[in-house]
Amino acid sequence: MKTKRLLLLRLAFLLLVVTPLAAWLLVKPVRVLAPALVGLSCDRGPVCTDDPQRWQAASDLYAEGMAFVSDSIAPLETAPRAVFCATQACADRFGLGARAAVTVGTWGIVLAPRAWQPHFIRHELIHVLQGQRLGVIRRLLMPTWFVEGMAYSLSEDPRAPLAAPWEAHRARFKAWLAGIARERFWVEAGQL
C-alpha cells in the first residue's frame, strides 16, 4: 500500500514537475505559454513583442492574419498567443534557431524578426487551425506535403519557387485540393 502511494507520488512529481520543467528547458518554443518568464510583457491581449514601440504594427499583422484565415479557410476557435520578436535575441530565447517562425500546439506562435510579414503570420495561424480541426498530435503525424503544403499554399506565400522541398509540397497540396469538394475539406484531410 505504502509502495503504491510512493509510486503514485513519484508519477505525479514526474508529470507535474519534471515533464513541464524539461519541456521548458528543452523545447524552448513552449515558452510561448508564459512569455513573461523570459522577460516579455504580454498584458495587451494575445499579441506580445519585445519592442513595445512596435506593438501596434504586430497587432495589425495579427488582426490581418486572423481575418485572412477566417475568410479564406475557416475561423479559428480560439485566438492563439502570438509573440512577435523584434530582435534575434528574443527569437533565440524561444529557441527559433534558423527558423523564421514556429507554432506551439494550438496555444501560440512565435515569429522571428524576418517573419513580420503577412504570409508568415497566416502560415503559422494555418498550423494552429490544423491543430484545432484535426488535433495537435494528429497534425504531427500527418503527411508533410499536406501540413506544410496547405500552409504555404493557402497563406498565399508570394515566393515562387519555394526552396526544396516546400515547392513540391505546395504543388502536391494544390493538386489534392483541386480533386476534392471544398465542403469536404476537413473530412478528406482527416483521412490522410
Please report how close the Cβ of residue 20 comes to Zn ion at its closest, in angstroms: 25
- Least distance to Zn ion, CB of residue 102, Å: 9
Nearer residue to Zn ion within complex by CB, 30 or 154:
154
- Sign of the dihedral through C-alpha 75, 156, 103, 43: negative
Q: Choose between 125 and 151: whose C-beta lies nearer to Zn ion.
A: 151
Comparing CB distances to Zn ion, the nearer of 90 and 129 is 129
Written as nine digits, the cell of 162 is 519555394
Long-range contacts of the stretch 170-176 (C-beta < 8 A, 24+): 172/145, 173/145, 173/146, 173/149, 174/149, 176/145, 176/146, 176/149
**In whole angstroms, what is the distance from residue 16 CA to residue 97 CA?**
28
110 binds Zn ion (CB under 5 A): no
Binding-site string for Zn ion from residue 127 to residue 166, where x marks contact by CB under 5 A and - marks none: ---------------------x--x---------------
Q: Which residues pair with 108 in a beta bridge?
A: 81, 104
Name the residue nearer to Zn ion (CB basis): 50 or 148.
148
Q: How many residues bind Zn ion (CB under 5 A)?
A: 2
Task: Output 52 or 143, the one with its CB closest to Zn ion.
Answer: 143
Query: What CA–CA distance (Å, rounded) separates 86 from 164?
Result: 27
Whole-angstrom Cα distance, residue 117 to residue 68?
A: 13
CB of 152 to Zn ion, least distance (A): 7
**Contact footprint for Zn ion (CB under 5 A):** 148, 151
